[in-house]
Each structure stands twice: as C-alpha cells, then as structure tokens.
Structure 1
C-alpha cells in the first residue's frame, strides 16, 4: 500500500514543473492513507474507503486456515512498468503476507508463504482490457459481482478480477508463487477455491466507486510525458553497444495500449533479445516513482543501492542481480526521469552510458 511522504511529493511537484506536465497543482499524490483534497472538493477515495480489512485477511488466508496479519507493502519488482499506476492518475492499494523477497531478481523461497493482494483503480477507462492483462489462465464462469460485469482469470502467478464501473478500471490481483506446483500458501486450492476469496474485496471496491461522486476518483497524475523520442534517439544504441562490448545494438520498441497506465505516462521499452540480451525502459518525469519505491522496506532489502558514474547528487540507483543467472537489473533516476535497465552483460555499464549521453 503506497503512502506518499512530503519529500516525495515535493520531488513529484518539481518533476512535473520541470517536465512541463499538467498535474493538478492543488492535490497531493494519492495514497492509501490520507490524500490532501482541495478545500471545495469531496475527499478523494482512499484504500480505507474501498475494503474492510477483514476481507483482506480472508483473501490472504492460506489453505491452513490460519488468519495472517497483512502488511501494507507494494510488490517487489524490477520492472518500472509495474510502478506507474498512481503516476497515471490511479490509486493502488497493496498488502503482503509472508516473507518478502531477499532479492528482487530471484524467485521467492517456497517457505516464504508469500502473497500480495493488490487493488488498482484507474479512471478514464473505456472498459477494454489492458494489453498486458492476464490472458493465459483459466477463465471462469462468473460474469458479474453484485450486478457489475467482471472478468476473472487464474494462471501460475495468481488470480485476477477486472471490471469497469463509472469509467474507472478496477483490477484486483491475488498474486503468489508456486501455485501450480502446490508449494504456495494456498496449497492444493484450485481456481474455484481461490477466486471466491477475493470477491468480497471486488464487491466492496466496485460499490465504493459506484456510490462516490466522480470527483472522488479524480486522483492527480503527471499527465503524458512525450517528446516524440524513440528508442534510437533516447537510448543511443551505439553508446550502449560500446558500453557492453557488443558489435551493435538493434532496438525493438514496445509502446503500450492507450488505455494502460504505462501509455498515460509515456512509458516505453527498448530491447534487444538473444544472447546479448539488454533492455531499457524509459520513464520521462517518473523519478519520484523510483525515489519513493526506494524508501519502502521490502525494496530496501531486495535491492542494493549503487552509485553510478556521472550521476548527479540526489539521483538514486538500485541494482538487483539474479543468483543463478547472469542477468542484472538497475532502476535509476536521472534528473526528473527514471530508467530501468536489464542486461545479461553489465546493467550498470549500460545505465552509465545513458547518463553519459545525457550530459
């Protein structure tokens, strides 16, 4: 569950101003606790308005039937695209049970009994599924919850429910490792057992949105940050190739569906597949997202803080390397912008090449 500190809010505001974005200047970034509304407006919906903690506990109770104590925590990830829902104008609520990962690049231990319950809300939706929504599991037959059409799915990473109410996209995710192997906290429970566990959370979230005036879901955003750049112009392939000792780097470019939070903030990805694997995610104006992520306890233990050559004072860099594979990831800020780099050769060298080319 995200809570915005005063320092991060200040950084966010500075980033918006410098990037010439169009955020709402009279509102703080949304969080799970107490967003700051305008004096004349209805208070923005918070996580406390969406769900009863008893339903959160029930959803996260495993096959042993022992009620856990959920901890507000965002899911540990090396992927910048997973972190932008609130920057895009949404609200994210997240709770963890079990032991958090020791390494962001490694799969958690089966003994960790790790699970997250995540609620993501994003206004301005036409009801279409995001381009990276779950689509490879078992779609089950529940067509509505409390009169609202929903779409449910389970796969090896967990179970999802998606719906749209009053143009607000709702995604409720129960995510946990090792389900198909039977090693998760849910043991041998099937999709028919798991999806009903989250339905009270879905139902109360949909009801809260349906009952709220539209202005209560007008969470601030940084707006789309787009300068027309492409992978070749924003991440010089010649500089990356030189840094990694490669004869060349040829970028493939991925842009997100317009409905997604990634597209709303202008995020895009550049990658070269194969033996010389390297990828770069470009997040203009998203430095505050990485800055806040770095302060959260789960991420502080799952990443190593590093200093990148050429970085300015105040910039942040987080590294994570897989234990049993050569790939490393680096999330770093560069002024008001953020980047995510992954490489099987040298992610730090690639990140430093990006910094060098920006100066």
Structure 2
C-alpha cells in the first residue's frame, strides 16, 4: 500500500510550489484560549543552542500526550516529508528540532496515533517574519505566549505558533494523524487544553531563544551563493520528461523565489538559494524538483529517524569513478513509481515530489554525468 505522500493531490503540489514549503498542517483557524502560559525556565545556554536548550522534555511530552492512557516518551525524529525543509534550515545555520510519539508514518488510510512536535529557529529572521495566514483568507488570531505576541493557526492536521523573538524567527508546531478522520491521538481531548500545552512549549522556546548569547547559533554549514533558476544540465527537459513519462505537450518550467517571503519555510528557502523546476501539464505543475546547490553533503539526514524508515536507497547507474551520488526513494520497493525522492549529485541536493520520482532521480544523474 502507498504511504500518505502517495495520495497528495496536484493542488497540494501547487501549494508547495508557490509557498516554498510543505504545509504546516494548519489550514483552518481555531480561536485559542486567551490565557498566557508562564514559560518554564531552562538554564541559559553558554554557547550555541541545541534542541535540549529549547524546551523541557516534560513540556514536549505533555503537548504530545493526547488521549493516550500511559505517559508518552517522545523520541527525536523528523516527519519524512519535512526532512528536506529541515536540511535547508540546518544548512543556513538554523536550528531544527523534532520529536515523535506514536507508531510513525503509516500506510495510507491505516489508523495511526503518530504526532510530531517541531521547534524551528531561523537566526536573524525576525525582520523577515510574517504572520500566519489562513488558507481560507480569514483573520489569524494572536496570543500572548510568555513575553511574545505569537501568530496562531490550527487546522486539519495540527496547530502552529509563529513569532519573531529578538532577532530570530521561531516556529513551533504539532502535526498529527487522523484529526479530521477519526480523531487520532487527540480524540476526545479538549482542543483548548491541546493549544495550551503547545503554547507552554512555545513559551519555553521563546524564552530560551531570547536569552541566547551572541553565539547562540553556529555559523551556516553551507556557503550559499547566487543560484540562477535554470532547468538545464541534470535538470534538462528531455531526460526529465522521458523519466516522468509525461504526456505530449508537457514542459519543464523554472521557478525562482521572490522576496519577501510569505512563510517561514519560504524564508528558509530564500536564505538557502533554492529554485524549482516543475513538470507542467496543461498549465498545471504535476511534479516539482527543488534544487539546493551546496547542500549535497547533508543528504545523510535521510538516513535518520523517521526518514530512514520511509526512504530506501537506490543505486543510479553511470556514475563516473571518483564521483559520489546518493539517492533515496520513498517506498523503494516500488521504485521508480514512488512519489518522493532525495538525491545528492555533486554538491547539489535535489528533492523530487511527483510521480516516478525514482526514475527522475536516475535521469538527473544520467544527464549530470
């Protein structure tokens, strides 16, 4: 059976293309309680922050508890569909922290109790901050969280707080399975309690970031330069269209990102210098290929939990001696049909979202070398 990613619609692909991110899972406004949590205090960091500095473990566990009868024990894990975004943030010097409870990503339509909590910090991103925007165009409520006024959004698959904290942009969210279908982990739990618990995590993270020393964030791992948005070389249309088995009339179109950013993920993508090549059919993007020059050395993040379970390695042919190519495909047993793939070729990292992603990854390699 296919995983959740296999059933994303073309509309979701267009959203990713235009916003530069996977959905935060918060697309319908929920009015939060008005009470403001008191932030739990962690010892001030004396150097670069790490995930343990952002929020106490008991607050993370409480936010992910849901209706489970026994106390939960969150584990460090990134939602597979969010790994590329996490790599970009890490590469530009940001902090991307994520924990999971439950059974992990299930096959599609199979009841599961997974939930992921993420804290993400874009250093020096406060000037780029924009409030969250409802997909329905309605007003997005704000909430006083500790000493910070945070933008809040809740919807079909989770809840998110976003705020400028000092010079930085901090995002805190929970994504969970089955919220609109059968209730998932949070079935039967008062929604205001859920939001309160997440707000306590956000308050702790905001306090830690606000108290961070001048060297609270390390230098970027990747030296990002000017990257023209060009679908040539490994991304040239002939090989890409053939691998995708695209219909007659399909074309490969380049999209670059425009400032200012409209979301946290888009701000990270701008900082990382990414661009997108899309297979466009009848004027609509059916497959997207995102390219991050210089990020190829971070491809091993796709071996970490939970990506290491969702993705399997494939071995593209025709790689010259002395060159290293690493490729991962979702549902590798069904390769090349899987809808998600990550590829490192040269210094570039590619993220492929669409039909026959594995075949497209092989085509990029063939056209690169």
Q: What TM-score does the superposition give when structure 2 sets the normalisation length? A: 0.74
Distance in 2, Cα, partners of 1:269 & 1:301: 26
- Cα distance, 1:350 vs. partner? 2.0
Show the counterpart of 1:56. Answer: 60
Identify the residue that residue 318 of structure 1 maps to in structure 2. Answer: 328
Structure 2 counterpart of 1:158: 158
Q: 1:332 to 1:135 in 2, by over 3 A?
A: same
Does 2:275 correspond to 1:268? yes
Alignment RMSD: 2.9
Distance 1:160 1:146 in 2: 16
Q: Distance in 2 between matches of 1:140 and 1:240?
A: 40
**Superposed displacement of residue 128, structure 1:** 4.2
Match of 1:135 in 2: 134
Structure 1 partner of 2:257: 255
**Deviation readout 1:94-121 (Å, 9 max, x if unpaired):** 111001125xxx54732x3100111001
Q: 1:107 to 1:170 in 2, by over 3 A?
A: farther
Aligned residue for 1:5?
none
Question: In the TM superposition, what is the alpha-carbon distance from 1:84 to its structure 2 partner?
Answer: 1.4
Q: Secondary structure at the match of 2:364?
A: helix
Q: How far does the alpha carbon of each residue in 1:177-215 deviate from its partner, in whole angstroms, 9 at most, with x for none? A: 221224310004454332111111111111112222222
Give how far 1:175 is off. 0.9
Alignment match, 1:283: 292
Q: 1:122 to 1:58 in 2, by over 3 A?
A: same
The 3 A distance-change label for structure 1 pair 327 and 195 is same
Task: Give the Cα separation in 2 of the matches to 1:97 and 1:328.
Answer: 25
3-state SS of paired residue (2:161): strand
CA distance in 2, matches of 1:208, 1:310: 49
Q: Using the alignment, how far apart are the partners of 2:51 and 2:189 within structure 1?
A: 28
Mark the CA change 1:354 to 1:191 in structure 2 (over 3 Å): closer, same or farther: same
Separation in 1, partners of 2:190, 2:127: 28
2:359 maps to 1:357: no
Question: Against the structure 1 CA distance between its residues 239 and 231, is the aligned structure 2 distance closer, same or farther, given a 3 Å change threshold?
Answer: same
* Residue 94 (structure 2) pairs with residue 93 (structure 1): no
Alpha carbons of 1:134 and 1:285: their partners in 2 closer, same or farther (altered >3 Å)?
farther
Q: Report 1:1-359 matches (<5 A).
A: 42-77=46-81, 80-101=84-105, 106-107=107-108, 109-110=110-111, 112-129=112-129, 135-136=134-135, 141-189=141-189, 191-232=191-232, 235-246=235-246, 247=248, 248-251=250-253, 253-255=255-257, 257=259, 260-274=267-281, 277-294=286-303, 296-311=304-319, 314-321=324-331, 328-344=339-355, 346-359=356-369
Deviation of residue 78 (structure 1)? 6.9
CA distance in 1, matches of 2:105, 2:209: 33
Distance in 2 between residues matched to 1:65 and 1:258, nearest whole Å: 45
Mapped partners of 2:134, 2:224: distance in 1? 27
Structure 2: unaligned runs, 5 residues or longer:
1-44, 262-266
* C-alpha deviation, 1:220, in angstroms: 2.9
Deviations 1:201-235 (A, max 9, x none): 11111111222222213443414233324235662
Inter-partner Cα distance in structure 2 for 1:293 and 1:354: 19
Instruction: Go from structure 1 to structure 2 and tell me whether the alpha carbon gap of 1:234 and 1:307 turns closer, same or farther (over 3 Å shift).
Output: closer
Equivalent residue pairs, number? 310
Unaligned runs of 5+ in 1: 1-40
